[in-house]
Amino acid sequence: MNDEENNEAQFVARSIKMTPEEDRPREKALAHGLETLSSAELLATLLGSGVPGLSVVRLCEQILYDNDNKLYRLARLSVNDLKRYRGIGEVKALNMLAALELGRRMSYEEFEQLPTITDSKRAAQYLRTKMAHANYERVCILILDHAKHVLAFKEISDGGKTSAVADIKRIMRTALENNADSIILAHNHPSNNPTPSALDDALTKKVAQAGRMLDIPLLDHIIVTQGECYSYLDHNRLNRD
């Protein structure tokens, strides 16, 4: 290392040392553990550096603030969305989104090992890992065997940010093709309002009727959000004519 490189390394080391600990998330993680870091600090460890006048932690706090401090909202952003922030280039944006995607996949692995639906809460947990991150509405079904094991998760249709159209014939054909003993209907509300609409009620009624005719009972219809999910079964609204 020549004198110029050595001086630069010493300058960087002094700069890091002079930076307050709260703005040095990597050092904090090494000293106290990753679990002690805030969401902004965890994101900051991925980005590594901020911009003049704005530390990396403050930058990540701003990004989170703009997304209601919700990681799931952050995960819905695109690379171009993140690049609008000063100091966020393509690589940093990809690093951030890749980490969020890994988190989503990790939450799903639990259900790959134990894909058994025992109640509406378990179904909602499973479906949230598959659907809640989407910023458009999707209609899907869980294909179950006689022991309530998940045989398949199938998307029936997708739409815009407010609604998706579901074809009853396609729902039942998909169930038959996958040897379903029963099914759970699901769709997500990107607005995170779990309240069912009149269209949701009508869809539930039609699928339940078709299921009875084909001896493939509809066990539940769940409206999926990042927060509370709505279960037609839990609200005793599944078998209304």
Mean pLDDT of 187-209: 92
CB 218 within 8 A of CB 184: yes
pLDDT of residue 9: 46
pLDDT of residue 16: 43
pLDDT at 129 > cutoff 80: yes
pLDDT at 21 > cutoff 70: no
Do residues 147 and 69 share a domain? no
Q: How many C-beta neighbours within 10 Å does residue 32 have? A: 11
- Tens-digit pLDDT profile for residues 102-124: 887 776 665 555 478 989 999 99
Mean pLDDT of 50-74: 89
Distance of CA 232 to the CA centre of its chain: 22
Least confident of 14-18, 86-90, 114-118, 134-138: 14-18
pLDDT of residue 203: 92
In-domain check, residue 8: yes
- Tens-digit pLDDT profile for residues 152-190: 999 998 765 545 567 899 999 999 999 999 999 999 998
pLDDT of residue 110: 59
Domain hosting 43: range is 3-106
In-domain check, residue 239: no
CB 82 within 8 A of CB 63: yes
Tally helices (H) and strands (E) across the chain: 10, 5
H or E, element range at 225:
none
Do residues 195 and 125 share a domain? yes
Do residues 99 and 122 share a domain? no
Q: pTM higher than 0.75, yes or no?
A: no
In-domain check, residue 240: no
- CA pseudo-torsion sign 179, 184, 185, 186: negative
Mean pLDDT of the chain: 84
CB 223 within 8 A of CB 189: yes
Do residues 161 and 137 share a domain? yes
Query: Among 220, 216, 226, 197, which residue's Cα sits nearest to residue 140?
Result: 220
Last residue of a domain, one of 80, 106, 132: 106
In-domain check, residue 137: yes
Do residues 173 and 205 share a domain? yes
pLDDT at 15 > cutoff 90: no
Mean pLDDT of 71-100: 91
Do residues 131 and 224 share a domain? yes
